[in-house]
Amino acid sequence: MEADKKVNLDIKPVIMLVVDTLMDEPLQEAVNKGRAPALKFLMDKGSYFPGMVVPFPTMSVNVDTTLLTGTYCDKHHLPGLAWFDERENRLINYGTHYRELFKLGFGRAVNDLLFEMNEHHISHEVSTIHEDLEKKGHASASINALVYRGNTAHHVQLSKILRWLTRIKKNRPMYASRIFSYGSFTRIHPSRKNQYFWKRLGFNDSSAVQQITKLLKGKNLPVFSIVYLPELDQRVHKKGRMDIKGVEQADKQLQKILNAYPSWERAIEESVWITMGDNGQAWVDPNRNKALINLKKLLKPYKIMKLRKGVHPYDELVLAVNDRMAYIYTLQSHISLEVISDILKKDHRIDVIAWKKNDFIEVRRGGSEAAMRFKPEGEYSDIYGQSWTISGDLSILDLSIHNKNIEYDDYPDALARLHSSLNSHEGTFLIVSACPGIEFIGEGSPAHIGGAGHGGLHKQDSLVPIIITGTDSQPPQFRMVDLKKWILSLLDIK
């Protein structure tokens, strides 16, 4: 590894461990039952905060982009796992389910995930932590994070079969952090032990641990490393929110990382550790008829784009389903978003319906005639230093106002998060978010009956714990959008 320039020896490197879908309640139970010793150690030796707010929609690619850029999606322009690109006139899907990917075109979907998302879909008006550190002459590491954009070219190792299926050119570069591991496509550790097809091509916890411990044991740790552990998320989808076994398994992986040091005490003496979830998950009802809102059936009067065919001139709507949240686009100018909202609000399982109208955001709720509207800047302020103009029934977003101060409850930072999503990309669309217990489905969407899902605005999807160990410093506010600036301050980067 090329040495950093002008390294301040008093600055400790930062290791960020992102445990996908780590949530407070199951974490606390696992710790209390003695089933998560590594997490308990990091909590006991550091500071624990149970309710960090993640961006909306609560899908990993949007969340991770906010983490790395320090902006919501109105600035970084990556709206979710599925969204409609008006410029290219196509639905983009980075991987909600294989059924949808094959209908949209498997090669194009892989190309979007591996290259287009980081190279073109994320705005170049914002910069990532990796890019900022590189400009200052510092190396950083990204291990299995789907969002990785940096300034260093890495050549992807694609099998002949995958190149044939995707038509991706041999040796096409990925521009990422200086030290970069991305499944089996490019890796730090030479072994292919955890990289095979039946091990999700290296996108697994064991592979991520293998890569970071290679850096630690080789004394090649850069000033900042992000390590992504995906497997807890997959278990919670199936097993539900209180999957203690999944937390226990994630903890065993964290133990392996800490064991790369002579002692766990040495680990926190030598580095700053930030351990956190990236999104929560809301429970999903075990009764299929109750749990699933079929948007195609609900919007049956309209001609909805079919995934395999793409946009045709007679199509009227496009559905971009992000599990418990969806973007609904109109393709014809005569179709009113308010009329679509009137259809949607007949279903009481829809928690929030929102769209742009002039300078305002209009908000409705399923099963109700209540209405509210808001826009940035005004006489009411929230705890994040944001001011708003608000009118109507505040109970829709569970807001309360005291002395012109806004308080959030069921929908943390709801105003900024809704506003950002509705201004994240071009198009005429509205947003729907489901009540806990409910998921949206479209054409080929996955369902998690009796398990859990995310994407929604509700606090079950939106709050994750964060453990900070090895420093007394903490972020000024506990929102993921505020972490980047704080992380760079830990590294004395301005």
**What's the pLDDT tens digit per position in 354-396?**
999 999 999 999 999 999 999 999 999 999 999 999 999 999 9
Name the burial class of residue 407, with classes exposed (0-12), middle (13-18) and buried (19+) by CB atoms within 10 angstroms of its CB.
exposed
* Least confident stretch, 19-33, 186-200, 321-335: 186-200
Q: At residue 326, does pLDDT exceed 90?
A: yes
Distance in angstroms (rounded) separating the CA atoms of residues 471 and 488:
14
3-state per-residue secondary structure call for the chain: CCCCCCCCCCCCCEEEEEECCCCHHHHHHHHHCCCCHHHHHHHHCCEEEEEEECCCCCCHHHHHHHHHHCCCHHHHCCCCCEEEECCCCEEEECCCCHHHHHHHCHHHHHHHHHHHHHHHHCCCCCCCHHHHHHHCCCCEEEECCCCCEEEEEEECCCCHHHHHHHCCCCCCEEEECCEEEECCCECCCCCCCCCCHHHHHHCCHHHHHHHHHHHHHCCCCCCEEEEEECHHHHHHHHHCCCCHHHHHHHHHHHHHHHCCCCCHHHHHHHCEEEEECCCCCEEECCCHHHHEEEHHHHCCCCCECCCCCCCCCCCCEEEEEECCEEEEEECCCCCCHHHHHHHHCCCCCEEEEEEEECCEEEEECCCCCCEEEEEEEEEEECCCCCEEEEEECHHHHCCEEECCEEECCCCCCHHHHHHHHHCCCCCCEEEEEECCECEEECCCCCCCCCCEECCCCCHHHHEEEEEEECCCCCCCCCEHHHHHHHHHHHCCCC
| 10 pLDDT above the threshold of 80 | no
pLDDT of residue 3: 44
What is the C-alpha to C-alpha distance for residues 341 and 394, in angstroms, rounded to an integer? 18
The pLDDT confidence band at residue 282, using thresholds 50, 70 and 90, is very high
Give the pLDDT confidence score for residue 160 in this predicted structure.
74
| Rounded to 5°, angle at Cα 57 from 432 and 378 | 80
332/312 Cα distance (integer angstroms): 11
Residues with Cβ < 8 Å from 157, sequence gap 6 or more? Answer: 184, 185, 186
Instruction: Count other Cβ atoms within 10 Å, centred on residue 284.
Output: 27
| 350, 344 Cβ separation under 8 angstroms | yes
Query: Which pLDDT belongs to residue 4?
Result: 52
CA distance 13 to 7: 10
Cα separation, 314 vs 361, whole angstroms: 29
Residue 2 is predicted with a pLDDT of: 44
* Per-residue pLDDT at 137 exceeds 90: yes
| Per-residue pLDDT reduced to its tens digit, 46-82 | 999 999 999 999 999 999 999 999 999 999 999 999 9
Half-sphere exposure of 260 (CA within 13 A, CB side): 21
Q: Residue 352 is encoded by which pair of tokens?
A: 């929030």
Structure tokens at 241: 């929110």
CA angle 201, 310, 361 (to 5 degrees): 90
Instruction: List the one residue out of 210, 167, 172 whose CA is nearest residue 191.
Output: 210
**pLDDT of amino acid 1:** 41
User: How many CA atoms lie within 13 Å of 251's alpha carbon, on the beta-carbon side?
Assistant: 23
For the chain, the domains span 14-78+122-284+457-490, 288-450
Nearest to 361 by CA among 284, 416, 287: 416
How far is the C-alpha of 154 from the C-alpha of 252, rounded, in Å? 31
356 burial type by CB count under 10 A (0-12 exposed, 13-18 middle, 19+ buried):
middle
Tell me yes or no: is domain 14-78+122-284+457-490 CATH 3.40.50.720: no
Taken in order 164, 169, 173, 175, is the CA torsion positive or negative?
Answer: negative
pLDDT in tens, 215-263: 999 888 999 999 999 999 999 999 999 999 999 999 999 999 999 999 9
Does 98 score more than 70 pLDDT?
no
Residue 378 CB burial class (10 angstroms; 0-12, 13-18, ≥19): middle
In this structure, how many other beta carbons lie within 10 angstroms of the beta carbon of residue 255?
A: 16
Of the candidate ranges 112-121, 166-175, 267-276, the one whose mean pLDDT is the lowest: 166-175
- Burial classification of residue 172, based on how many CB atoms lie within 10 Å of its CB (0-12 exposed, 13-18 middle, 19 or more buried): middle
Q: Is 381 exposed, middle or buried (0-12, 13-18, 19+ CB in 10 A)?
A: middle
C-alpha atoms less than 13 angstroms from C-alpha of 29 in its C-beta half-sphere: 11
Share the mean pLDDT of the chain: 93
Indicate whether this model's pTM tops 0.85. yes
Residues in the chain: 494
Question: Is 103 or 16 the better-scoring residue by pLDDT?
Answer: 16
